[in-house]
A = this chain, B = another copy of it.
């Protein structure tokens, strides 16, 4: 049986994991695939730095073209990350008739339409299981096994860095900045953590999840994205007192012809299945009309877990090549021509319950003032805490609201922030109750 040849672009952490998988489990792959598959070329600008795996020097090249233009290679794995040169390389691989495996959510969230259309025209696959949820096989599940469902919602904890930071803030009562600095020192957060802590990475992944679940194009800019940098230890502690846990959640919901697409810190009922996804773990919960709720959980990042997903895609392509299937399943689970363009619901129209936190001067009548503003904006309070904190001249008031419209909440808080008795800016956090 002919050996199927694979080339790798990008010899970073995940790239090294992929090399390790070929080395350690090549025999297993050959047995399961009924024939050999071989990594024949690795391109990276840096071929000098020592990696956690040993490779023969002949495999290494600084020239991406040695992978992209090699007629022997039928599968290209792109693990460079970022927009360019990844985009050009992927398009060139497609133009050369090669199937592509990528973990690059940023690239696909912004340039997916161009890439998937090019792939469809060229009759090649672009697989991206590793781009969402690391080793968790959620992309394939949506495209294949759960494909007979109309999805109502997709919720995810999709960024290990944020989840690690929030978990430690919850467990230790520590501040965001302190935990972030420690996470950076330990290598759990990037030197520039913006993409992670501002929710951008999570939004990239949500764009892909929702394209698949709802069969729609997602304009990345239409995703409401709010990170975790404004959260303080106090909010986490109050959340717990109200019976909630704070998570950075990716939320996609279908509501008729509209979809909600939002990434923000969310208070989850402690009994919510995603509330238990802690530390570096990722979790995805989908609700379909037939399957009902289904949840997936595992490592969302890391050299080996991500390599597992990449290798699963490689195996799928080898099986397609061996069986002569060509492109068996379109990139987004349905042909490009069948993809809809659903309207994104404006955030102002969102209906949710809310956690509100205001710092006020400790003087009589303040609470009545605030309650008055909320009432005039049709916001009713479900419960309230007014802890006594004598060490400061400002005391926090925290409230959980019944369901309200976000437009009203924002208007009420703007009015509240303008009160003389209020110090600094108020904060609101959306709440998700027990999952259906």
Is the pair A323, B327 in contact by a Cβ cutoff of 8 Å? yes
Is the pair A295, B292 in contact by a Cβ cutoff of 8 Å? no
Complex alpha-carbon distance, A288 and B273, angstroms: 23
Is the pair A140, B148 in contact by a Cβ cutoff of 8 Å? no
CB distance from A325 to the nearest CB of B (A): 4
Is the pair B149, A308 in contact by a Cβ cutoff of 8 Å? yes
Is the pair B150, A145 in contact by a Cβ cutoff of 8 Å? no
A427 proximal to B (CB < 8 A): no
**In the complex with contacts A215-B32, A290-B17, A320-B312 CB distance below 8 A:** no
A21 proximal to B (CB < 8 A): yes
Residues of B within 8 A of A298 (CB): 291-295
Is the pair A295, B297 in contact by a Cβ cutoff of 8 Å? yes
Is the pair B136, A294 in contact by a Cβ cutoff of 8 Å? yes
Complex alpha-carbon distance, A144 and B145, angstroms: 11
Complex alpha-carbon distance, A29 and B289, angstroms: 13
A368 proximal to B (CB < 8 A): no
For window 153-181 of A, CB contacts with B under 8 Å fall at: none
Is the pair B295, A291 in contact by a Cβ cutoff of 8 Å? no
CB distance from A275 to the nearest CB of B (A): 10
Is the pair A32, B328 in contact by a Cβ cutoff of 8 Å? no
A7 proximal to B (CB < 8 A): no
- Contact string, A27-49, partner B, CB cutoff 8 A, digits 1/0? 01101111000000000000000
Residues of B within 8 A of A295 (CB): 295-298
**In the complex with contacts A148-B29, A312-B148, A315-B148, A292-B305 CB distance below 8 A:** yes
- From B129, B290, B326, B329, A305 is in contact (CB under 8 Å) with B290
Is the pair A315, B147 in contact by a Cβ cutoff of 8 Å? yes
Q: Which residue of B lies closest to A314 (CB)?
A: B148
- From B28, B276, B333, A32 is in contact (CB under 8 Å) with B333
Residues of B within 8 A of A291 (CB): 135, 298-299, 304-305, 308-309
Copies in the complex: 2
Residues of B within 8 A of A333 (CB): 32
Residues of B within 8 A of A387 (CB): none
A239 proximal to B (CB < 8 A): no
A346 proximal to B (CB < 8 A): no
Is the pair A25, B145 in contact by a Cβ cutoff of 8 Å? no
Residues of B within 8 A of A375 (CB): none
A377 proximal to B (CB < 8 A): no
For window 117-143 of A, CB contacts with B under 8 Å fall at: 129, 135-137, 140-141
A231 proximal to B (CB < 8 A): no
A65 proximal to B (CB < 8 A): no
Complex alpha-carbon distance, A371 and B276, angstroms: 39
- Contact string, A326-352, partner B, CB cutoff 8 A, digits 1/0? 111110011100100000000000000
Q: Which residue of B lies closest to A340 (CB)?
A: B31
A385 proximal to B (CB < 8 A): no
Is the pair B315, A323 in contact by a Cβ cutoff of 8 Å? no
- From B32, B308, B313, B325, A325 is in contact (CB under 8 Å) with B325
Q: Which residue of B lies closest to A34 (CB)?
A: B335
Chain A residues close to B by CB (< 8 Å): 17, 21, 24-25, 28-29, 31-34, 129, 135-137, 140-141, 144-150, 215, 273, 276, 288-299, 302, 304-305, 307-309, 311-316, 319-320, 322-330, 333-335, 338
14 more CB-based (< 8 A) A-B contacts, given A148-B312, A290-B311, A322-B328: A21-B148, A21-B290, A25-B289, A32-B333, A32-B334, A137-B146, A140-B144, A146-B312, A147-B311, A148-B314, A292-B299, A292-B302, A294-B296, A297-B297
